[in-house]
Each structure stands twice: as C-alpha cells, then as structure tokens.
Amino acid sequence: MRWYLTGVVVSGFGTTAMWLVSGIWVKSLTGSDSLAALTAFALWAPVLLGPLLGTLADRVRRRPLLVVLNAGMAGLLPLLLWVESADRVWLLFAVLVLYGAQGAVHEAAEQALIATALDEKRLGTLNGLRMTANESMKLVAPLVAAGIHTRYGGGTVALLDAASFAVAACVFALMPVREARPTPSGSRHWWRETAEGVRLLRASPVLRPLVATGAFTMLLAGVNGAAIYAVVDKGLGHSPAYAGVLYAVQGAGSVLAGLVTGPLLRRVPERVLATVGLALFAGAVGVRALPYEATALAASAVIGLGLPWVLVSVVTAVQREAPAEAVGRVAATANTLVFAPNALALALGAALVALVDVHVLLPLLAVAGAAWAACLVAGKGARAGAVRGAG
C-alpha cells in the first residue's frame, strides 16, 4: 500500500500541474476562454473508449502495465517544448488526447490491481487514502505549476510532469506485489470481452444507480469546470493564474473527503455517501456564482469535499461487485459512463460560457444537482416502503 500510494502521489503531482497549466498555457497564447476550456475536453475525450481500453487491463498483469504507461508518458511530454506560439497549440491538444487515453487504461489497471490485492473490507479505506494522496497534490501542484508557467513557460511544466511519470514508473516497478497472470477468457475476442464488462455493469442493481449518479454529477462538473476561467475573470476580476488558487482550495476539501471516506463507508452504503456528496457539490456550485472572493474559496472547498464522495462510492462499489477476472473491464465501463458526460459537458460548457452569463449558468446547475439528490432519497424511501409493505 505504501509503494502504491507513493506512486499515486508522484504521478498525481505531475498530472495536476499539467492539467491546470494546459488551460492557462492556451489562454496565454490565444487569449480565448473557450479554447482554454477545450484543453480539459481533450484530456477527458478518450474516456469515451474506456470499455475498449479497459479490456487491456484484464488481459495482462496490471503492475507491469502501469510501469509501461508511466514510462511512455515520460517520453512523450518533452515534445511540448515546441509549443511556443498560438499556431502550435494543436500539438498540445494532440498530446493531451494521448494523455487522456493513457489515463483511461491506467485507471482501469489501478482499480483492478487494488481489487485483487486487497481484502474487500479495506477497499473503501484504500480508495479514500488514494483520493487523499491524489487530491492532496491540488494543495501544492496548482500553485507550483502556475508559478513555474508564469516565470518559465508551459514547457518547463511539461518537463516536470515527464519527470514525475518517470519516477512513478520506477515506483510501480519496485512495488512488492505478487500478481498472477490473468486467466484468458474463452473467446479471446476483444469486442466480446469488452461487451462482457458492459453486460456485468448493466445487470447489477447496485452499480446501475450509482454509476448514473456519478455520470450526472460529472455532467454538472464539466460545465462548472468550463466556467472556471469566466468565474475568475468576470466574477472575481483576477488573472487566469488565480484558477490555481481555487483548485488548491478544492484540493484541501478533497484531502478531507479522502480521510473520512473509509470510516464513512464502513457505516453507510455507497449510495448514501454518493447522495450526500452530490447535494454538497450542487450547493457549492450555486454559491460560486456570487461575486465575492470569500464565497468562491468556500465553494471550492465544498466542491472538493462533495465530488470525491460520489466518485469513491462508485469505484468502491465496482471493486466489490465485479468478478475478479473482469474488474478492469467493468471499472473502465463505469469510468466511461461516469466521465464521458464530463467530457461532453466541457465542450458544451465552452460554448455556454460564451452565450450565458456565469451568474445565471451556475445556479441552474445547482438546482439540477439538488433535484437529482432529492430523487435519489425519494426513490430509496419508496423502495424501502415497498419492501416493508411486502413483508
């Protein structure tokens, strides 16, 4: 667990830095809020191929796969040193798409490795610690990245990210895990194996509502994320680099969320924790529309608290419910269903930011999120009443 969490911390630092700086980088070169928002879309778009990419995580041993994925990104990122003007921004977008594809496979392999290496009762705790380790980088990486970009440019941040991937590859290579070679499926047909992951998810009464809640939450989060630069610029009157401050505060909320997730999941079902997380997230998004720095910082902290509870609930439920030989496929399918709306919403949000005032857009998102959370509570109560009546 220590080796694994070390790898998460190292790679999470570089990924968070690059994710933030890519938007600032494009904004600085082009002056466009919409293009800056599209950098996040480029990172998330490959999640649409998640079920297909996740099949790879069930075909090979997961630890060596993680080593190869991290080493590959370490070699790719230095290409971004060439991005020095607006006419070369296309290269940054191309690398970000490959970055996202690597991340989809990496996430499926990580979840499958955890599910097969740990006792079921410890999954919630480790997923919470993993969230804490990963999200704690938002306390440091955004500020460091924004400062490095301002002083030395985005290329230096790309080199920093490449170094973090190289270190993560070494850490995963040294991780003392005994992992059996995956048992081949009967058909060894890529599309049939992928479809099996979809079938297993659809057949689970536990996973279906959780994944749907995660998908809706990330739909809202995508539009909210696309609006961040408009909030910073038009709402607070700061430069784009101030987004790093908001993300750092959000990271603080996520650290707290990760620390308490394990104890909470030992006391309440994943569905309850996901409902509470969505309600907190929705309320904070609405508050972010207020043109005050104090409320913007508070809203970022609450977003950081609520959003991870939804995501960790989905991940933990998948690891508990999916068969060991298919965790990679089911996890990748769930990730696609949860995060594909985020990718689409980032693109939609880039257009909405140009058409709808952010002080109107964000409260609308808050109302939608609160309504979904209320429906989850009402639906659970109705089913419980039906069961009592049948008894």
Residue 4 has pLDDT above 80, yes or no: no
Tell me which residue has tokens 């993993």.
Answer: 130
What does the DSSP assignment read for 319-333? HHHS-GGGHHHHHHH
pLDDT at 386: 39
What share of the chain has pLDDT > 70, as a percent? 91
Which residue in 254, 41, 256, 1 sits closest to 141, CA to CA?
254
pLDDT band of residue 151 (cuts 50, 70, 90) is confident
Instruction: Give the global pTM.
Output: 0.71
pLDDT band of residue 96 (cuts 50, 70, 90) is very high
Tokens of 212: 């749907």
First-last CA distance in the chain = 44
Tell me which residue has tokens 């970055």.
Answer: 99
Residue 65 has pLDDT above 60, yes or no: yes
**Mean pLDDT (whole number) for 56-66:** 81
Least confident residue range of 64-68, 208-212, 372-376, 381-385: 381-385
Tell me which residue has tokens 């609160």.
Answer: 370
Quick: pLDDT tens for 216-243: 999 998 888 888 878 887 778 777 778 7
**Mean pLDDT (whole number) for 370-391:** 61
The pLDDT mean for the chain works out to 81
Residue 391 has pLDDT above 60, yes or no: no
Instruction: Tell how far CA 36 is from the center of its chain.
Output: 18
Name the residue ranges covered by the structural domains of the chain.
Answer: 2-175+203-390
pLDDT at 383: 47
pLDDT at 280: 95
The 10 Å Cβ neighbour count of residue 63 is: 19
What share of the chain has pLDDT > 90, as a percent? 18
CA distance 243 to 198: 37
Top-confidence residue, 258 or 370: 370
Which residue in 84, 99, 109, 153 sits closest to 7, CA to CA?
109
* Residue 198 burial by Cβ neighbours in a 10 Å radius (0-12, 13-18, 19+): middle
Which residue in 219, 233, 244, 206 sits closest to 340, CA to CA?
219
Residue 49 has pLDDT above 90, yes or no: no
pLDDT band of residue 273 (cuts 50, 70, 90) is very high
Quick: pLDDT tens for 24-38: 888 888 888 778 878
**Mean pLDDT (whole number) for 326-337:** 82
**Mean pLDDT (whole number) for 158-184:** 81
Residue 390 has pLDDT above 60, yes or no: no
List the CATH code of the domain at 2-175+203-390.
Answer: 1.20.1250.20
Tokens of 324: 């060991």
Half-sphere exposure at residue 153, Cβ-oriented, CA atoms within 13 angstroms: 8
pLDDT band of residue 379 (cuts 50, 70, 90) is low
